[in-house]
Structure 1
């Protein structure tokens, strides 16, 4: 049996969420770069693996899975030494799932909406998008509460998913320390993870530079 293969581009927050999970569990994997600008995700070969042509896509033992949340929980369930990142306890798992769904249904869409508003000529669109972002930050601040992480006092795959998206968002819509001290402290702790730079930081810098270049044109 070969190594699991992760298809994607590390500029993508969703891909980085999976890479963070993979590094956290010490997974021995292969990474295949998919350049969506060149439509490499729409080739006949890739569509056979994932008809939705999304990244990340995981190929493991001849089977393919897509959606970063599904991939991350699968990898932990199959390859992690314990269940700390995705607990087997049903209540704890439900809390992790809720945070993952929050990332996919609230945080990530608002990030893309904010990005779109930056290209709009309607000042109200930008203001509405910014208000939505700040509301999402407020939810996250409450999710942490008195804990260190988003689902308690130990890391979970939900932290990785939120980190990949939030670390992108704050470069363009800052979560100010005075307003969101718990988010700020959490981000600071996450950047100290030994695998942070390779799994998230390098790809994050690429996408920041790309967005800034596009904005200046």
Structure 2
């Protein structure tokens, strides 16, 4: 059976999953779900996902939520030829997991704070504290990347997909300072990949345009 992916093109978490499907050449059925429109609060969705979040996948009756869990699942089940994306080596895998947890607890939290400031609080952009937090995120990632070519290893892993989906979004409203040379080079390298262009860029463009228009509107209010 074809995997069903419930998400929205603008969701950074969803785009991490879409990038992985491009790398794995995995066919799927896309079901668009909008948090802003209240789709995740509908009874039929809550029955499958009480967390009322996206993305969610349905694989032959098996339902899984949280992009990080989904990334590991898809590689384990469908990525035999790309097993390095989620290494078997204990220490490498543990580093990948740590970076995934960092993305969930710190990177995503930093971007969500900025998004809510703009979309819900009518802010003209991130405030000083949010800019400081995003720059702290950039600084940490730059340090990670000074030790390896990618965020968790010297080769691409699912941690890179999770991080780049959110970082590429946040950078539109809190630009990455050129002093973060390793981070800048990593971003540029990944953005040239076909899986980035197909799995991330369309939704990234859409949310960037949305945030820009809201910021302009808020600045005139």
Residue matched to 1:134: 135
Q: Distance in 1 between matches of 2:123 and 2:184?
A: 30
Shift of residue 113, structure 1, vs aligned partner: 1.8
Q: Distance in 2 between matches of 1:148 and 1:64?
A: 34
Residue matched to 1:110: 110
3-state secondary structure, aligned to 2:127 = helix
CA contact (8 A) 1:120 1:126 kept: no
Provide closer, same or farther for how the CA distance between residues 122 and 66 of structure 1 changes in structure 2, counting only shifts above 3 A. Answer: closer
3-state secondary structure, aligned to 2:64 = strand
Q: Distance in 1 between matches of 2:41 and 2:160?
A: 30
TM-score (norm 1): 0.93
Number of equivalent positions: 214
CA contact (8 A) 2:151 2:159 kept: yes
CA contact (8 A) 2:24 2:82 kept: no
Question: Is 2:194 aligned against 1:194?
Answer: yes
TM-score (norm 2): 0.91
RMSD of the TM alignment (CA)? 1.8
Q: Distance in 2 between matches of 1:38 and 1:199?
A: 23
Q: Distance in 2 between matches of 1:82 and 1:111?
A: 30
Note the 1:11-50 alignment, pairs <5 A. Answer: 11-50=10-49
- Structure 2: 5+ residue runs without aligned partners? none
Q: Which moved more, 1:112-121 or 1:151-160?
A: 112-121
Provide closer, same or farther for how the CA distance between residues 115 and 41 of structure 1 changes in structure 2, counting only shifts above 3 A. Answer: closer
Provide closer, same or farther for how the CA distance between residues 150 and 62 of structure 1 changes in structure 2, counting only shifts above 3 A. Answer: same
Q: Distance in 2 between matches of 1:38 and 1:144?
A: 38
